[in-house]
Structure 1
Amino acid sequence: MQAKKRYLFLFSTGACLLLLFYIGGVHVPLSREGTSQGDEHRHSNSLWPHNMGPLQPFSPFDQLETEDYNVHISPRQKRDVVPGIYTEKGCRMESCFDFSKCKNNKFKVYVYPQQKGEKISESYQNILSSIEGSRFYTSDPGQACLFILSLDTLDRDQLSPQYVHNLKTKIQNLPLWNGGKNHIIFNLYSGTWPDYTEDLGFDIGEAMLAKASISTENLRPNFDVSIPLFSKEHPRTGGERGYLKYNTIPPFRKYMLVFKGKRYLTGIGSDTRNALYHVHNSEDVVLLTTCKHGKDWQKHKDARCDRDNSEYDRYDYREMLHNSTFCLVPRGRRLGSFRFLEALQCVCAHLCVCACVCVCAFPAQAACVPVMLSNGWELPFSEIIDWNTAAVIGDERLLLQIPSTVHSIHQDRILSLRQQTQFLWEAYFSSVERIVLTTLEILQDRVLQQASRSSLMWNSLPGGLFTLPQYSTYLGDFPFYYAKLGIKPLPKFTAVIHTMTPLVSQSQPIIKLLVAVAKSQYCAKVIVLWNCDKPLPAKQRWPATLAPVVVIEGESKVMSSRFQPYDTISTDAVLSLDEDTVLSTTEVDFAFTVWQSFPERIVGYPARSHFWDSNKERWGYTSKWTNDYSMVLTGAAIYHRYYNHLYTHYLPTSLKGMVDQLSNCEDILMNFLVSAVTKLPPIKVTQKKQYKETMMGQSSRSSRWADPDHFAQRQTCMNKFASWFGTMPLVHSRMRLDPVLFKDQVSILRKKYRDIERL
């Protein structure tokens, strides 16, 4: 009996010790074959962070939604602060940043001039070009709030051909360095084999880091920025669109979970990758690794290499991505890997019909939900992005639980995750420019704290890059959040009539237009924008109207002035009109009624379209009356006043200068901007048949619309604008709203043909 008690006591003691080991996070190799061949380095470079703490289960997916849109706690903020490579200085914005340089609440960025003989990688050149082409750039260091080195700091791996030598001395000799204060350093790779530490090899001083693969241990909260690792092939501008709209249902696919990548045989790497074969089943969970990489991989091959290599070669990587519900993103040599962006975008295999036009070969199979397995990695832009709404985040030590975890996620949740990945990809990660601008916008929010964006702005359409806080910090002032907040736009509009012709007769179209618009029950005010080089007519020359009329003198032929955010515009809606537009009061009322249902879009009468000219290999512009359209001209259109602010402060001076120089294309540029923001087409309302001949003054042979040079200019504008946006943002539509059917029960039928708006 005593023996039984002793055995029971020993058994209980052993169980308690095992439990303590488990709770304490002690690493137990996942491989059946024991430790991997990289054990000789693990004593100082363990896969698991030294202060990782107890195991954390996968996120409870049904409890991830939150109503607090203004607060987001990053993974770093959830952990205790542990001293790291950069945290020893204790830098924060309040201690290591000189706010006095950001005068008059302006956030300007200076890029050092490039020095002769200094090599710069293509990726770093793309970063510098993105900054220099942004609205933040200044060529005057005296006006700068932030400074960017022209010395290439992206690759600090000493074995890399891109490694810049003597960087410490070169930086210290810069006259504006000032110990790194108000500087930000971009870095993708740090450390080298076998350690791959996060040290850059020079003293960064008080400079901030925009770094890939940065750990929560080394990131200085509210000072450094975690950015994604991107390849040299990552596009500088534009980038691929998300393709979720083509296939929203069903959410389940051929594979539940996939991965295809390297397995490291020596040096620091990922024990997780070495253990993936435990959960690979060749059916719905396909996790493939290969030993076949590096010059001397055969010297270190283990008993599984041949089998792994053979299985690896059987599968096409892109086909797996596009046919899987979840994509595994384990760490590589460093905490981050290219798999992160590949999973977010779900890289599209392309079929190119010419040098400039490529289509997705698998458009119906996009949007793979990333499953993050990289303990201690501060996820990119975690300061502003709530990754719980777009990814599954797990602990590497719970690898064996992944299949059951992803199988248990409800299809509604899967669809929500996939939709969010597509939004985040397109908003912040699709190009080098988006990555750089997101970094700068985050820093601007820190510097101009009184005008920082809320979490909802960052984590919902159209995203933080298109919601400028200088316009407002109140969500209800932006048309994108009306539905979410349950509010409606103000029930009035302000008409802005763009005038370039002298007023010589009371029978001119502008007089008739002014009277008709002012009669509208929804008209709060009429602004006549006098851009004529002739003197302003006397007050008595203007007709008496029900709504007040304000005349603003602008510069002659400055077309962009019609989209200025004038203080006198107090309504949400702006009715933009050309002086020769022919509209009745009832037509104005109807257009405004339609706009109230689509406040984020342009709603109006004259429509135009774009097309790809395969012979000239460029975008074309057409005014032909066809079944579809992609633009509604601002000669008779209603839009939200926020777009005036966005046009003025978001678009570069080069595009606006082109518009003013040509006295043309401002309406096309506004359509590009609104479609880029909303990813939607404008709304066309039906018009009187006679408009085909008289609308926009087309009946007059002297009209600029009949000028072939004017039309050729618009073709050129299309391609210039598409080049700057990096893509063609315009969306074709065949939907027209008629006053007889609008809001009638018949309009419910439109729900059966949702894709009619997106051809």
Structure 2
Amino acid sequence: MTAPTRLSQKPNRILYQYRNFFITILLMLTLFIVLIVTYHVFKFGDIQHGSTYRALVLNDVSTLPIQVLDRDTPTAGATNSSCSHFNCFNVYRCGSGGNQLLVYVYPPKNYIDSLNRPLTSQMTREFHQILHTIISSKFYTPNPREACIYIPSIDTLNQNRLRVQEVSQALRTLEFWDKGENHLIFNMIPGSVPDYNPMLDVPIGEAMIAGAGMSSLTYRSGFDISLPVYSPLTANLNPGSFSTRKWLILSSQININSAFEQDLMELKTTFPNDIMVFGSCLHHNPMNNTIRCVGEDVYKYPDVLQTATFCLVIRGARLGQSVLLEAMAAGCIPVIIADTLVMPFHGTIDWIRAVIFIREVDILMVVPVLKKVSEKRVIELRAHGAWLYDRYFKSIEKITETTLEIIADRVFPHLARDSTYWNIPSHSGNVSPLFLPITAPKTRGFTAVILTYDRVELLFLLINKIVKVPSLSKLLVVWNNQHKDPPHPGRWPKINKPLKVIQTKENKLSNRFYPYDEIETEAILSIDDDIIMLTADEVEFAYEVWREFPDRIVGFPSRTHMWDNRTSCWKYESEWTNHISMVLTGAAFYHKYWSYMYTTAMPGDIKEWVDEHMNCEDIAMNFLVANWTGKAPIKVTPKKKFRCPECTNTEMLSADLTHMVERTQCINRFSNIYGSMPLRSVEFRADPVLFKDVFPEKLKRFNDIGSL
């Protein structure tokens, strides 16, 4: 009877095992669903967290969560005036988003003191726009633990509206405050009466300030961000309206220092037809900032700024003045008379392109100085000022976005945009096609491409010299002689760097610019086989300079072009001058991208003409690079003489009497094909630090650099 019993229990055991299996699967599914729901709850919470700002009303903060500040609440800590990006900014908080700057905005609260008085009854429209811009930007993160920058939702734009002690206490209560590290405080009207401190009076510890009207005496360079004093009056102005201007100079500020008022009256007496001085309207409402008066005559402001060529921006009780943006919006060129004023976005914007600076002690010379400004310069200043205003200052949103972009460049310097990005209008068509960091990486070095025909001894001498350059990665010899084979491998110098010889099918100068597969580095050193006078230090230094300017031609022999009024043509000039517009590719660094462009995208028949006449390939390359980038080449070191001492004049291509004539013809022919003259002249030469200084050689990195 026992056997049948065991047989009948076997199916039950199987069912029991299946039941356990299904229960296990069910539990796992349940746990998985719980995890998914939990994830979405937290995610939804983040979304709701962000929507708090978007739904924030301006006229009432009483509906927000309450934070009580009593007398015992500690303050944020005294402002650290010695802060810099290197001692007060924690870069290790950044990088959670890769190379993306992440910014967290604290949820807004209703801060009240022990007497139940609110810190502020409403949030200003401008501060609301700042917060909304950040939250709507690519920089925003709802997760404070992955943020790099923290923005308090406490309206600190206007110093006059702040209760200094309470605001500092409110900052101290922020969850991630930590002495203000990596926090950014916005302030557009710093300092209160009577001192008008150019810095925010609120103690903020080690926080950064994005503020207007900063002084060079207190501005923490590379740490704070200088802003303009924003003016809502500019909304209806058109900076592109460049109609005829009645006045040369206009002063529209009210309540300026009495000494400056006397200077302006003296200028008006001396130059009555050149300067107009407006004042407040005492017979109307003197607090109305939309009108200005001259005697009984009333003028609409800031529209009246469009009647002058230059508008004065004079230091007042506060350094920062709203007339700067008002003048730019009106197409009136600002004339800055404020010695210690830190201009908006200082260190990023090149203000020399858009404004004129005059020292305060020279204010009585303002009319004679401005009369000497040429009409061409006036057009350039006005046009660039209009471009700067439209790109960076037209709205609170643009000012906020630019602030974050500048901080992003500081946090990730390897991705920072150069001055050209910030200061050259993109519509000029001169945007570099190379997507490179501000400094090219050094790790892979450069490839030396040597063009040669039959001068074997010189070639071997050059190879033995160039191989001593520390950053050399590979040598590529382009053998341009089809009637004679390269030397036997056993004859070549024994070197510790890779060497490849390529024998071309045709004798063309353009062969030196072919994008050979053997070139694996970004940088190419194009060098002739007779350039044996360069030292290893000179070549290495030139490579270091190229790394700073990777989209340009960087090299040694330089030339220039000039307009000949006698012939009404361009002229090629090889004389030693301070101006250069070309660097010859007989000894120059350039990016390998230009070899590809030279070979595949050279306009017209330039490449064919060069190969047919065996001349001007270096001029053609300079035209190509300048046309794409709008930039001048860079000459390095004072080296002048490049003739090889072993060569006779009959062996030198440049000894031909027709050589210079042909090169002048090249300049004119190429400019006609391009439809303009793309070459840019510059007075600049790069020399190593301490080159001519009397210092021990141990302190100098490049000692073996010759003189003229």
Normalising by structure 2, we get a TM-score of 0.46
Flag the structure with more relative contact order, 1 or 2, with Cα contacts below 8 A and sequence separation at least 6: 1
Larger of the two Rg values belongs to structure: 2
TM-score for both structures, normalised by structure 1 = 0.43
